[in-house]
Each structure stands twice: as structure tokens, then as C-alpha cells.
Amino acid sequence: MSAMDGALLQVRGLRKWFGGLQAVDGVDLSVRPGEARAIIGPNGAGKTTLFNLISGHLRPNAGQVLFQGRDITGRPPHAIVHAGIGRAFQITSIFSRLSVFESVQMALLAKQKRTMSFFRPRARLVVDQTTAILEAVGLGEQAKMPAGAISHGDQRALELAISLAANPTLLMLDEPTAGMSPWETGRTMEMIRRIAREQGITLLFCEHDMEVVFGTADRITVMHQGRVLAEGTTNEIRQNTAVQEVYLGSDEQ
Amino acid sequence: MRTALRSQTTATPRSRIVLSAVAALIALALPLLLQESELLLVVEMLVLALWAVSYNLLLGYTGLVSFGHAAYYGVGAYTVALLWSKYGISPLIGLVASAAVTAIISFFTGLFCLRSVRLYFALLTLAVSQVMFTIVFEWYDFTGGDNGIHGIELPGFLSSAPNLYFFVLVVSVVCMLIIKAIVNSPFGGALLCIRENRQRAAFIGIDVKRYELIAFIISSTFSGIAGGLYAFYDRQVFAGLLNWTKSAEPVLVSLIGGMYSFFGPAVGAALFIFLNAFLTRYTTYSALALGALLLMLALVFPGGLAELASLARARLLRRGQHELETDETAAAQPTASERKP
């Protein structure tokens, strides 16, 4: 536990309870820079709660979250974004009445702390950066469309684009392929891997689709009933009997 | 509702210049065209228009519903009146002071009200405004209580109706243009993000409460200036200016005009004042007629008059498109059919 040896994200003894329910019950987690880490576990294992605790949406009852050695436990979401952690949501969370372009443009301006500017027209700011991000996720054509009017798959891509605009060191993805067809899933994961590699982004994602998990992750953390049941490389997890019992066995056969 | 937002961004510069020029010409010619009483009606419209546009920075652009904005309007009016009656300070200086006083007060009331969200925020704004109303109403020694303050003397050059009109015109239009610049700035964009999705706004790095507080202060400050202008117009102030029934006015006219359009609330204000004056001439049930109109608008055009206008424009453009199939600029315009039913 003492190891600070180059971990980008270090979670120590994190706990969160809702009434009598121990949603996250003493989780330790250490993510190295450049890693792609998947968190898996049956429904109710505490994955989303863990994400909410790390990204500042919820405050933990106990434990610590260190990012690049700095204590960010219980900081508000906007502070954690500025620290370098981006987040994409499981349920698409976008700005429906803004255009696709404006959505990403505002995310860029917010991250660059340029939104406290009151009299300068924003229309011509960060246009090139916005266009580059939209093209990277394949939304170049839809730039002028209202975000609420594009297809579900495109909204997932926009969700990713908004998160990328924050230029994160660590990107947290909560079920990035939820509700996607197999074809869209493959395309989306391909894109995420490519962008992460190009920009040196560390990935932390939870996912139900085992093909996605084993195809993308370097290491896997398995959660069960609010605790870490196992952690290891994809091969180690595949061969772990405890994991097979609680999770893979029942789900995959 | 989407069309309202899009129409702002897609209006061609040329048509905008022509529109502004025509509006400026009409504004200049009004004192020649209208009788004094009618001109004063226009002054009243300008005051309410500024107030409504200020208010709509919260309602339409930040997604915050305040039920107590008369408090800041009233404080603005009383600042002008009290500085004049107690200290003999010129209403011109009083108008500047009304902005400062409302800015300071709204900093504290905003800090308090923004502890809550949605309906609870709205109820807190209402409660705070009623506290302020009660103070003004009961504090006879200072505010004159329900007697109000009468006979405010304006500087000599404002004694004629046309001059008063031009003064109010310049102040209100400049204020509205400042608000428009804010709406189009990165700050205004951050407010739109908050309106659309508070949670997501925080997760792109926006300190939501802080931005809401600043929007609240800006909105209240310009409401205070509108109230100060009211004191110029009426030359008297009374506690009712802070009352909750008064707070309904900017809400009403923003909804009539269209809260997703920048000048919608201003148009709503003009219509409201006009109908009020016109209807009271013929019927004692003017409030009923206004209520019926609002109900009809809410049911048929939830985007207000702005939605009606963008529908009409889209239809005109489509007709133009049929005549000129190759005209690319027309084809690039959004059509109302994209609107969700």
C-alpha cells in the first residue's frame, strides 16, 4: 500500500455508504501512467459509485484519492477536471440545445479557464482545436447540428469529444459502449484506443462487454460487493477461479 | 425551441444591419410621430424591456427561475428616489448608484438563494423579495412606507417628454447591448452549458455556483438600473414596485416574447404595456384578456412570439427557395420543420 512508485492515480481505503448499504467498502486501487485499466464486476458491485467518488460527484465517507501525488479527496468536480481527470458518462450527458461545435468549444474554453470573459464574442475562439477534436471522433460533418438532434451513436462520440476537450491525463469512461451495436462498439473502442495512444491518455473504464474489456485493457480490477476481488493482467483474471465463480462463470456461459 | 437558438446564429449580417438601421430610424422619428402621452407609453415599454431582458439572462440563458426580481427593480427605483429626497443628490448620479446598490445587495441575496436549486431556489428568491418589500413598506421614517416618495425632480434637460424618451432610450439600449455582448461571450456560453446540463457543466470544469451567482448579480444590477429609469419615468416610487405581483411582470413578458430569444422579452414587454394601456381603455377586465393571450401563447407557441417569428421566417425562406432553386444561402437556413412537435 505504501507504494507511490509512479502511480498516476492512487486510491486508498475508499468507502462510501448509503444508509446501511456499503456501496464501496474499502477499495484500494493504483493506476500507472499510460495504462488502460478496466473495472469489471456484476451489477451493484460499486463500479459507478467508485467512479463518482474519484471524479468528485460524490464525497467518500472514508479513504483517500491521490492524483499525481496530490490529495484530491472530496474536491468538487470542476476542480478535479482542472487537475487533469476527464469523465464521460454512462448515460449520455450532453448540452442538447447547443450545437455539436459549441459543446466541444465550451468544454475547451472551460478547461483553459477562459470562460470568465464577458465581452469578447466566443464564436471565433478555439475554432481550430474544436474542429480537430470533432474530426478525431468523426463528428466533423455534424458540427452545426444541435447536440440533441444527432443519432445515439454520434451522441456517444460527442460525449467522448467533450471529455477529450478537457485534455485529460486520466480519462474515466463509464460503460463507453453502452447501448451500441457490435459494429459501433468495435469502432468506438478502436477510436478510444487510438486517441489514448496518440495523446498519452491513461484510461480507466468500466464495462460489461467482456470482448471490449479483454480487447482494450492492460490490467483488470474485479469488484464484488463493494470490494476489490482480484486485480491482474487479462490472462491472470481469465484464469482466476474466484473471479470465474462470482462473475465470468455465471455471466458468460 | 431549438429554432429560436439557431435563428440567432444564422441571421445574415446584412439583414441584421438593415434591421438595426430601420429600428434606429423609427426610434429617432417617434417623438415626431407620437403624441406626448403615447411617447411616455414607449418610455414605459423601454423600461420594462430592459428589466425583462435583464431578467431573462437568468431565466432563458442560465435556466434559473427567480420569483423575486421586483426586489432589485424596486431597490433601483428607491435608490434614485431616496438619494434625491434625503440628500438632494441628482437622479443622474442616483441612477449610477442604483446599479451599485443592487449589485451589492444581490451579491448577498444571491449567495443565500443559490444554496438551493430549482423550485427551492425560486421560493427563496420569492421569500427574500418579500422581506425586502416588507422593509420598504414598514420603514416609514426612511422610505415613507405606503406613502412612497413623490415629485422627484429631474435635471432640467429631462423635463420635456422627447428628451426623457431619448435619455431612457439610450440608457436602456446601451444596457441591453451590454447584456447581449455578455450572452455571446465565453461567460454566456458557460451559462448556456449550465442551463442545458448542470452536472455536465461541472464536469467540463465550470464552477456552477460561482457562475450562477455572477449571472444573478448581473441580472439584478441591470434590473436595478431599469428600476432607476422607472423613477425617471414616473417621478415617484411606491412599495408595490418590490411586491411579488410586480415580480410576475418580467416572467410574463419573457414567456410571451420567448425566453430563448434575446430580444423576445423586450418585444413581450412592448406588447404587454401596449395591451395594458389599450385594453384598460375599453374594458375593466384587461388582466383577463392578458391572461387569455398568455395561455394561448403557452399552449400553441411555447417558444413565445420569437417562435412565431422564426416560423414565419422559415416559411418565407422556403417560398423563396421554391422560386430560386439554386439559391444556396436560402438552402442553408434552418427550417421550422426541424422543430420537435
Q: Is residue B321 part of a domain?
A: no
Number of H helices, E strands in chain B: 16, 0
In order, the DSSP letters of B223-258 are HHHHHHHHHHHHS-B-GGGGSHHHHHHHHHHHHHH-
Single-letter amino acid code for the residue at B215: A
Chain A residues with CB under 8 Å of a chain B CB are 55, 57, 76-78, 81-82, 87, 89, 93-99, 102, 105-107, 109-111, 113-123, 125, 146, 148-149, 162, 165-166
pLDDT above 90: residue B13: no
Q: What is the mean pLDDT of chain A?
A: 91
B104 vs B29, B90, B99, B129, B224, CA distance in Å?
A: 38, 21, 9, 15, 11
Q: Which residues contact B307 (CB under 8 A, 6 or more apart)?
A: B1, B3, B4, B258, B301
Q: How far is B4 from chain A (nearest CA, A)?
A: 10
Q: Is residue B307 part of a domain?
A: no
- What's the domain count of chain B? 1
Q: Is residue B11 part of a domain?
A: no
Low-confidence stretches of chain A (pLDDT beneath 70):
1-5, 247-253
Closest partner residue to B200 (CB to CB) among A93, A99, A114 is A93
Q: How far apart are CA A130 and CA A105, in angstroms?
A: 5
Q: Which residue of B has its CA nearest to A104?
A: B204
Range of the domain at B193: 41-243
Q: Is residue B50 part of a domain?
A: yes
Give the distance from CA A54 to its chain's centroid.
Answer: 10
pLDDT tens across B234-280, in order? 999 999 999 999 999 999 999 989 999 999 999 999 999 998 888 88
Interface test with A, best of B3, B185, B221 (most A CBs within 10 A): B185
**Hey, are the CB atoms on B197 and A81 less than 8 Å from each other?**
no
| Residue numbers in A near B61 (CB within 8 A) | none
| Residue numbers in A near B205 (CB within 8 A) | 78, 81-82, 107, 110-111, 113, 166
Q: Which chain B residues in 254-283 lie under 8 Å from chain A, judged by CB atoms?
A: 260
Inform me whether the C-beta atom of residue B16 falls under 8 Å from chain A C-beta atoms: no
Q: Is residue B63 part of a domain?
A: yes
Lowest pLDDT segment from A90-94, B81-85, B93-97: A90-94
Q: Is residue B25 part of a domain?
A: no
Q: Is residue B158 part of a domain?
A: yes
A226 vs A13, A26, A43, A53, B154, CA distance in Å?
A: 11, 8, 11, 13, 71
In terms of DSSP bridges, do strands A70-71 and A227-233 run parallel, antiparallel, or are they unpaired? unpaired
What values do phi and psi take at A37, rounded to 5?
A: -110, 130
Closest partner residue to B2 (CB to CB) among A76, A115, A146 is A146
Single-letter amino acid code for the residue at B338: E
Q: Which residues contact A55 (CB under 8 A, 6 or more apart)?
A: A77, A80, A85, A87, A172, B203
**Hey, are the CB atoms on A106 and B189 less than 8 Å from each other?**
yes
pLDDT above 80: residue B137: yes
Q: Which residue of B has its CA nearest to A87?
A: B203
Once rounded to an integer, what is the mean pLDDT over residues B41-63? Answer: 97
Q: How far is A86 from chain B (nearest CA, A)?
A: 7
| Interface confidence (ipTM) of the complex | 0.89
pLDDT tens across A111-150, in order? 999 999 999 999 999 999 999 999 999 999 999 999 999 9
pLDDT above 80: residue B4: no
| Residue numbers in A near B188 (CB within 8 A) | 122
pLDDT tens across B56-78, in order? 999 999 999 999 999 999 999 99
Q: What is the dihedral of CA B7, B9, B13, B18, to 10 degrees?
A: 40
| pLDDT value of residue B323 | 59
Q: How far is A165 from chain B (nearest CA, A)?
A: 8
**Hey, are the CB atoms on A149 and B188 less than 8 Å from each other?**
no
Q: Is residue B323 part of a domain?
A: no
Assign B34 to helix, strand or coil: coil
Query: What is the C-alpha R_g of chain B?
Result: 21
In order, the DSSP letters of A105-120 are HHHHHHHTT-----SS
Give the distance from CA A172 to its chain's centroid.
Answer: 2
- Asked if B93 and B231 count as a contact pair (C-beta separation under 8 A), the reply is no
Q: How far apart are CA B240 and CA B74, in angstroms?
A: 8
Question: Band of the pLDDT at B6, cuts 50, 70, 90?
Answer: very low
pLDDT above 70: residue B306: yes
- Asked if B158 and B232 count as a contact pair (C-beta separation under 8 A), the reply is yes
What values do phi and psi take at A73, rounded to 5?
A: -60, 125
Residue A37: its H or E element = strand A36-40
Question: Band of the pLDDT at B222, cuts 50, 70, 90?
Answer: very high
Closest partner residue to A106 (CB to CB) among B181, B199, B204 is B204
Q: How many CB atoms lie within 10 A of CB B31?
A: 17
